[in-house]
């Protein structure tokens, strides 16, 4: 049954079959057929997009999930959006459940804020609205000059905990670093559980000593600056020993985060929790990138189960590691598309969501 008004077209911008699965689920929930489009790579690795139906005066929604080749994913999205724009679509909404390059949203020494670049490219291509989920930093919304709806996957993960973990009342929500403590606190308050924070894990390997901007001058000059006006140096950080703030002995430990990519920190956290007496360890996150040897490391670790949503296709990783479980979030994405197309309020999808969620 069609749950939308007329004039809606949904495209999937992925040339890889496994990445189109989410688009099919969303289309089925909305009761519409996916739009006809060809997306493929030329022999010289150029991306080509051919839209095979009229989009003139219609609301177009382009669904794009991040494949292993993230740069190709971005180009597919940009070219399809631009093709819809030049075909006189009334509006073009991008549906990117995982926003690529979201970790590069802060200035790092002589680097760049790549998230801002990607946002500018999408707006320039012709995007008029963006639907995404659990941005790595909510401030990324400010990089766009178009409306951005940053949906949350936490209701689906909370439901999984309540329905699939029989003794979840004996659990404790764990933040693997102080940086993820707010997310852990949000889960703990909604489940009426305790919280624990792991402090002292390995920090970033970046060293200020190798960056000339942070280095003192080789020769101390006192002629230009008065001695009383010397700039004080910041005391260097010293990594403390690993400690767990909170009681996890005899409890189920549930580690929560937004992205699981390099699993080394999760494996180390699981070992620490096991040493402190946790008898079962779950890891829950919205985006399961699970790059490189992540499935093998998870399988060989103390982690009992890794739960992620289907914002990113990971069927191959699930075959390599049966500990990986998937939560479907196509329901909230399809409802967001329906509301935007029908001109309805989006506030229903953000009920009970606070600033820190």
Residues 23, 28, 31, 32, CA torsion sign? positive
Reported as a single tens digit per residue, the pLDDT across 59-75 is 999 999 988 889 999 99
Mean pLDDT over 80-92 rounds to: 96
Residues 292, 296, 298, 300, CA torsion sign? negative
Residues 30, 327, 122, 42, CA torsion sign? negative
Integer Cα distance of 142 and 149 in angstroms: 12
What are the start and end residues of each CATH 3.40.50.2020 domain in the chain? 8-151, 155-201+241-327
Confidence of residue 216 (pLDDT cuts 50, 70, 90): low
User: Could you identify the residue written with the tokens 């956290």?
Assistant: 269
Find the angle CA(101)-CA(11)-CA(89) to the nearest 5 degrees.
Answer: 100
Query: What is the pLDDT of the chain when averaged over all its residues?
Result: 89
Residues 139, 129, 66, 47, CA torsion sign? negative
Phi, psi of 79 (to 5 degrees): -65, -40
Q: How much is the pLDDT for 206?
A: 46
CATH architecture of 155-201+241-327: 3-Layer(aba) Sandwich (3.40)
CATH class of this structure's domain 8-151: alpha beta
Confidence of residue 239 (pLDDT cuts 50, 70, 90): confident
Rounded-to-5 percentages of helix, strand, coil across the chain = 35, 20, 45
Integer Cα distance of 216 and 85 in angstroms: 51
Reported as a single tens digit per residue, the pLDDT across 172-190 is 999 999 989 999 999 999 9
Q: Which residue has the higher pLDDT, 224 or 323?
A: 323
């Amino acid at each position: 049954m069609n749950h939308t008004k007329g004039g809606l077209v949904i495209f999937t911008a992925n040339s890889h079959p496994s990445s189109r699965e989410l688009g099919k689920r969303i289309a089925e929930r909305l009761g519409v057929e996916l739009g006809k489009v060809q997306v493929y790579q030329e022999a010289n690795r150029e991306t080509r997009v051919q839209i095979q139906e009229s989009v003139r005066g219609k609301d177009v929604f382009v669904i794009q999930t991040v494949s292993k080749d993230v740069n190709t994913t971005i180009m597919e999205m940009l070219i399809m959006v631009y093709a819809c724009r030049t075909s006189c679509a009334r509006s073009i909404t991008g549906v990117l459940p995982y926003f690529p390059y979201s970790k590069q949203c802060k200035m790092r020494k002589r680097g760049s804020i790549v998230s801002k670049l990607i946002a500018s490219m999408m707006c320039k291509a012709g995007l008029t609205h963006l639907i995404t989920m659990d941005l790595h930093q909510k401030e990324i919304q400010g990089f766009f000059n178009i409306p951005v709806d940053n949906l949350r996957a936490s209701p689906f993960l909370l439901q999984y905990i309540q329905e699939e973990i029989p003794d979840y009342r004996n659990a404790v929500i764990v933040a693997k670093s102080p940086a993820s403590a707010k997310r852990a606190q949000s889960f703990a308050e909604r489940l009426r559980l305790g919280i624990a924070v792991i402090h002292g894990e390995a920090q970033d390997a970046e060293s200020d000593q190798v960056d000339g901007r942070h280095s003192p001058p080789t020769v101390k000059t006192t002629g230009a600056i008065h001695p009383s006006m010397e700039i004080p140096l910041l005391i260097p950080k010293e990594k403390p020993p690993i400690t767990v703030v909170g009681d996890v002995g005899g409890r189920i430990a549930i580690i929560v985060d937004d992205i699981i990519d390099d699993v080394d920190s999760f494996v180390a956290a699981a070992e620490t929790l096991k040493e402190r007496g946790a008898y079962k360890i779950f890891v829950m996150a919205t985006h399961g990138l699970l790059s490189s040897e992540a499935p093998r490391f998870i399988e060989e670790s103390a982690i009992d189960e890794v739960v992620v949503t289907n914002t990113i296709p990971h069927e191959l990783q699930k075959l390599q590691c049966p500990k990986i479980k998937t939560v479907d979030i196509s329901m909230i994405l399809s409802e967001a598309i329906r509301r935007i197309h029908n001109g309805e309020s989006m506030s229903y999808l953000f009920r009970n969501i606070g600033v820190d969620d």
